[in-house]
Amino acid sequence: MLRTHPQTAQAYAALKRSLAAQFRTNRDAYTEGKTTFIEQVLAKATTGVES
2-31 per-position pLDDT tens digit:
899 999 999 999 999 999 999 999 999 999
pLDDT over threshold 80, residue 48: no
- Alpha-carbon distance of 40 to 7, in angstroms, equals 14
- Alpha-carbon distance of 25 to 15, in angstroms, equals 16
Q: 47: pLDDT confidence band, cut at 50, 70 and 90?
A: confident
- Domain contains 34: yes
Residue-wise DSSP of 14-49: HHHHHHHHHTTT-HHHHHHHHHHHHHHHHHHHHHT-
Q: Considering its fold, how many domains does the chain have in total?
A: 1
* Mean pLDDT value across residues 31-37: 96
- What local confidence, expressed as pLDDT, does residue 50 receive? 63
- Domain contains 1: no
- Alpha-carbon distance of 22 to 43, in angstroms, equals 26
Range of the domain at 21: 6-47
